[in-house]
Amino acid sequence: MSMNIAPPDHRDELQFILDDVYRRGLDQRDGALADYIPELARVEPESFGIAIATAKGKVYAVGDAEVAFTIQSVSKAFGYCLAIEQIGRAQVLQRVGVEPSGDAFNAIEFDPHTRRPYNPMVNAGAITVAGILHDRFGDGAFDFMMDRFSRAAGRPLGFDEKVYRSESETGHRNRAIAHLLLAGGIISEAVEAIVDLYFRQCSILVTAVDLARMGATLANMGENPMTGDQVFELQAVRDTQAVMFSCGMYDYSGNWIYDIGIPAKSGVGGGIVGVVNRQLGIGTYSPRLDRKGNSVRGVAAVAALSDELGLHAFDCTNVGSSLLGRFIT
């Protein structure tokens, strides 16, 4: 384990809670691998890891929290944050909305009035965001994203060439979405380069610990609490968390807000990042997905942590919140 992770013999109360949530999750074997991307169908289905990173810089982990997997749609949240920084929220809003769609993440659906993608957390919106970053940086857009993602994680992140190739060879639906975006004047004519950037950002390698640290960076007003690096601008962080809250869990987002109540983003690689503003980030990894594309064990783990620690934004009891306060101060 890395230097900042609480060692296995550090048995404080938060680690006990994390261990218990992990043990309960091991019995959950529902769901299936994302076999529509051939390389994702080859991962170990039993992998399961959970990590928490606090806004004070402490990291707790259990299980396969250091196993690498591709970030997939979790990248959409961080890409959106970068787009707002680069061209401003008003210009981003002209090209992609912030309304929940109620449709599947890969739906070929746009707002009937504006012809924009509904939000940046579905494929159409994320491809639009990739278009914004490609307009800004050209062939350097992926290096820019990789640098910022790595700074948010506090270490240089890797890249899965095989998954990238697999996505590129089978991503015809995403290309169709991009061409419709071009027809609507939402993205530029560099369609192949934009879609390629989208495939590349989804193929960045992370771990559950990385996602926890990236979540903690958002929670800590854009500053990585482990390194002190101001990674993201504050206004962009606020807007990103807001859209994660309402749109981040595909067409399960309404139930997620109702039951769990924290900003989050999932990906078909099996990862989930959660953000508790000014307090902590959560990262989970388990590749078996439900029908909506969310990790079955990951959803259950974050739900259990929300209950145990009182993380729900509208928790009225304050019992869990006062318990959490002892861990993050």
Provide CB contacts within 8 A for 33, sequence distance 6+. 40, 41, 43, 45, 287, 288, 289
Q: How far, rounded to the nearest angstrom, does the alpha carbon of residue 65 sit from its chain's CA centroid? A: 15
- What is the Cα–Cα distance from 308 to 285, expressed in whole angstroms? 19
| Binding residue numbers for substrate | 73, 123, 167, 174, 198, 250, 268
- What is the Cα–Cα distance from 3 to 42, expressed in whole angstroms? 31
Which H or E run includes 266?
Answer: strand 264-266
Question: CB of 197 within 8 A of CB of 134?
Answer: yes
Question: CB of 153 within 8 A of CB of 205?
Answer: no
| Binding residue numbers | 73, 123, 167, 174, 198, 250, 268
- What is the Cα–Cα distance from 244 to 228, expressed in whole angstroms? 24
Phi, psi (degrees; rounded to nearest 5) at 205: -90, 130
Bridge partner residues of 223 (DSSP): 230
Question: CB of 265 within 8 A of CB of 244?
Answer: yes
3-state secondary structure of 117: coil
Question: CB of 252 within 8 A of CB of 121?
Answer: no
Active site residues: 73, 76, 198, 250, 268
